[in-house]
Structure 1
Amino acid sequence: MSELNIALTAVGGLVLVIGLFSGAIRRSTLSEPLVALLAGILLGPAVLGLLDPAGWGSQETILEQAARLTLAISLMGVALRLPKREPFRGWQSLTVLLGLVMPLMWLVSGLLVYLTLGVPFFVALLVGAVVTPTDPVVSSTIVTGELAEENLPNRLRYTLSGESGANDGLAYPFVLLPILLLSRPPGEALSHWLTHTLLWEVGAAVVFGALVGYGAGWLLERAQGAGTMEKTSFLAYTIALSLAVLGSAKLLGTDGVLAVFVAGLAFDAAVSESDRAEEERVQEAVNRFFILPIFVLLGLAIPWEGWMELGWAGLLLALAVLLLRRLPAVLALKPLLGRVGGTRDALFLGWFGPIGVAALFYANLAVREAGVEEAWVVGSLVICASILAHGLSATPLTRLYERRAQNDETRE
């Protein structure tokens, strides 16, 4: 009970403090996830020893489910933040990022793990899949707020938001394929992956999310028209939609994370602009409360001994993943990226593909389903490296982007 009270005090106090200084934090070289991560490390067994998640039950289950809930809330916020027609306006760049860049990110990450750590090839592919998705939680701290709105063009902010929202759920088949190959004969694994994972778990998630999301939006509009719903119900409505879709999609055996994002887009298409603006405000307000605790939890659960066993190879791998997983692929394919195909946009998109809560979710899923501990040890190291690198570089590089844009306009 004392640990629960300490956790409530720490998390509640942290949210209060970050809320009071959120503007200053975003204008500094710090980021909210980094502050929360450091708070978790401070409170955890490695420093003060006030909180130890190892004594709370199955750490893998706690981390996996906490990350899953955080993703659901965050993905709904991302979907509501995107303009209604944004997926259609940005179809070319999103298609390239999801259809070409994402598979390359998986293969490059897996190859780096294989060459650096010398683990079996399918294990390397699994770890590579864990760190593939661009995280919507960390991305939101980069592309939202006054600093981002003043210095980054909408096309760039919306593209990164849309990609990070979609590829979290689309990372699921990349994770499942090596899990199946590790546990079944190759032919059986591929057959199950094609017919069950892709067609049902992914395909049905898209259809289910679209139907439920649009239906929820339609019902909201009817309730508004009939005067049976108060404005104060908006917050509960979107949170309930996020959680209902997440749970029901899982009960149907589909990809719940992808279903939530699709439901958010469909809901967004069904509601009026005034309702949409209200939903966006309340959803973004609640995001902070749900997002920060997961990074505190990560700080508490860091596998320090596992990191030490990796040694310099682990640090080299983390650095290589951050530099090579995404940036070369985006630069190589920038002629195909449409409206974000300029060099400056491609460099920003290529660097800011942060690794965070989605990787935390898939890392613990991999441990539970395949018993691959490397997924958690390596995954947590790369996540923390990404939070540090992308958190510290977000503000200066955002300002640099705007300065370069102004210089280019002056030359013209």
Structure 2
Amino acid sequence: MEPLLLVSAFVVLAYAMISAVIPKTLLTAPLCFVAAGVLLSEILTSSVELDLAKLIEKVAELTLVILLFTDASRIDARVLTRELGYPVRLLGIGMPLTIALGTLAAWWIFPELTVWEGALLAAILAPTDAALGQAVVSSSRVPQRIRQALNVESGLNDGIAVPIVLLFASLAANTPASDSVTHWVFFWAKQVTLGPVVGVAVGAIGGKLLDFAAAKGWVMDTFMQLSGIALAILAWSIATVVDGNAFIAAFTAGLAIASMTQSVKPVIQDFADTEGQLLSLVTFMLFGAVLVVPAFQSAGWSDWLYAILSLTAIRMIPVAISLIGTKVHPSTVLFMGWFGPRGLASVIFALLVTSKNSFPHGESLFNVAILTATCSVVVHGMTSLPGAALYSRIIQAEAHQERFEHHEVTEHPLRHRVA
């Protein structure tokens, strides 16, 4: 355990010393930490006695819980319904089409996979991660409406993907004959009903109690910040005990906080951002140290083909379809289609479903997901800065035509995850 802590501390410190310089280059924080993990993989795997794959799973699970809770706590439903037509299109049209097209591609490229394994692979790789294209969602040169649409899409699609991934995992699992359809329907019903019930209850009751205590002046700022992590973990733990889905519980707890409390949200978000960011980067480092090299070593031409299609056509065609009728510039369609990076959520989903289920071709499915996520960390990270600059020049040249991209929009509080 000590070598792991030592290496993690060293990498975080080293990155912190150049953290203001990195955003000006083609590198990103996730790319740096994945690279550090790969470079240090021999040290970690040979000197750490722990099961690192299991450790990644646990750290990743906690990370996703905090990110889901934090992202959901920033959602303002009134802003979403009033002004955010683009992310609604991306999530309501683009995401289902991405899963459908990804399933068809898996069926074509991997004939040995069952249809549900193909659907599971597509669902695992459907969520996007704005942290991998940091320059896109933070650059003032990119029209606010566009970067906000990509940011909100990234913040919400993790939670939307959770029940879809779990459903396909259940259908794809190689279960004994005694596990009837009724068993799985009952299991699924508990997951998607008890999870939200627990989440709303924890978020609403916990948030109101903290609001009350804050109004009385009973709560110190430090402990108000800690309460955010506590509420996320509480929702996660209770849902697990009652057989509800823990991730849906964390997400709905954040939604309840957003809609039912006032004083709690800002301090919860600030602290959760810091903790979530640290966990994300450590997860990326462990990901690089343990999972990347084996995935690349075992990759065949079909794995590479699917990874390339997943990052291009499987994402870009559904985005183009979802934007029909919006009158946006063709470069905007291409830009939004390209910047759909696959990152932490895909890695976490792949780890969780393959460790807790038995699939006929689980190892192949897992390796393709890891290969795709790794390629995305590299290509989306390194193209975010020049891509944003090129798109900015193209779209600014069209400003005189009153393009929709330049219309004012109320800033939504959801932010990219990694600074």
- Regarding TM over 0.5, the answer is yes
Give the structure 1 partner of residue 306 of structure 2: 317
Alpha-carbon distance change, 157 to 270 in structure 1, aligned in 2, over 3 angstroms = farther
Paired position in structure 2 for 1:112 = 105
In the alignment, which of 283, 291, 296 is matched to residue 272 of structure 2? 283
Q: Is the 8 A contact 1:133 1:358 kept in 2?
A: yes
Q: Which residue number corresponds to residue 101 of structure 1?
A: 94
* Residues 278-323 of structure 1 deviation map (CA, whole Å, 9 limit, x = unaligned): 3333332223211110011111112635533332332222111110
Alpha-carbon contact 2:194-2:243 (below 8 Å) kept: no
Check if 1:202 corresponds to 2:192: yes
CA distance in 2, matches of 1:215, 1:345: 43
**Structure 2 segments unaligned to the other structure (5+ residues):** 403-419
Aligned mates of 1:263, 1:136 — CA distance in 2: 22
Match for residue 59 of structure 2?
A: 66
1:118-174 CA-to-partner distances (Å, cap 9, x unmatched) read 3223332222222122236546x4565xxx152334433443333333322332333
Corresponding letter in the other structure for 1:294 = T
Residue 348 of structure 2 is aligned to residue 358 of structure 1: no
Identity %: 28
- Residues 362-405 of structure 1: per-residue CA shift (max 9 Å, x gap): 21233220241122211110110111111111122223333333
- Mean Cα displacement is larger for which, 30-39 or 393-402? 393-402
**1:62-110 residue CA offsets vs partner (Å, 9 max, x unmatched):** 3322211111222233234455633333564444333332222122222
Aligned amino acid, residue 123 of structure 2: A
In structure 1, give the amino acid aligned to 2:344. V
What is the distance in 2 between the residues matched to 1:189 and 1:136? 40
In structure 2, the residue matched to 1:131 is: 125
SS at match of 2:127: coil
Match of 2:354 in 1: 367
CA distance, structure 2, for counterparts of residue 267 and residue 110 of structure 1: 35
Any conservation in 2 of the 1:90–1:159 contact (CA below 8 Å)? no
The one-letter code sitting in structure 2 at the alignment partner of 1:36 is: F
Q: Distance in 1 between matches of 2:248 and 2:147?
A: 20
Matched residue count: 397
Over the residues paired in the alignment, what is the CA RMSD in angstroms?
A: 3.0
- Of the three residues 35, 47, 52, the one matched with 1:38 is 35
CA 1:184/1:312 → structure 2, altered by over 3 Å: closer, same or farther? closer
Equivalent position of 1:163 in the other structure: 153
Query: Secondary structure, in 3 states, of the residue corresponding to 1:111?
Result: helix
1:214–1:87 distance in 2 versus 1, CA, 3 Å: farther
Aligned AA (1:113): A
Does the 8 Å contact 1:209/1:245 carry over to 2? yes
Deviation of the 1:230 alpha carbon: 0.9
* Structure-to-structure mapping, 1:322-337, within 5 angstroms: 322-335=311-324
* Residue equivalent to 1:173: 163
Q: Report if the CA contact (8 A) 1:7-1:51 is conserved.
A: no
Alignment deviations for residues 337-382 of structure 1 (CA, whole Å, 9 cap, x no partner)? x6x9654443333222221221112212332202411222111101
Match of 1:348 in 2: 335
Residues in 2 aligned to 1:157 and 1:258: alpha-carbon distance in whole angstroms = 26
**CA drift at 1:192:** 5.6
Does 233-242 or 385-394 show the bigger shift? 233-242
**Structure with greater helix share of residues:** 1
8 Å Cα contact 2:89-2:323 kept in structure 1: no
Quickly say closer, same or farther: Cα 1:68–1:156, change in 2 above 3 A.
farther
Which one-letter code corresponds to 1:391 in the other structure? G
Distance (whole Å) between structure 1 residues aligned to residue 156 and residue 184 of structure 2: 20
Q: In structure 1, the residue corresponding to 2:299 is in which secondary structure?
A: helix
The alpha-carbon distance between structure 1 residues 409 and 95, as it changes in their structure 2 partners (threshold 3 A), is: closer
Classify the secondary structure of the residue corresponding to 1:335. coil
In structure 2, relative to structure 1, the CA distance for the partners of 1:408 and 1:81 (3 Å cut) is: farther
**TM-score, normalised relative to structure 2:** 0.83
Question: 81-90 or 257-266: which moved more?
Answer: 81-90
The Cα offsets for residues 24-57 of structure 1, whole Å up to 9 and x where unpaired, read as 2122211100000000000103xxx343598523
Map of 1:229-268 to 2, 5 A cutoff? 229-268=219-258
List gaps (5 residues or longer) in structure 1. none
The question of 1:26 aligning with 2:57 is answered no
Letter of the 1:403 partner, please give it.
Answer: R
| Counterpart contact for 1:318–1:382, Cα < 8 Å | yes
Q: Does 1:296 align with 2:285?
A: yes
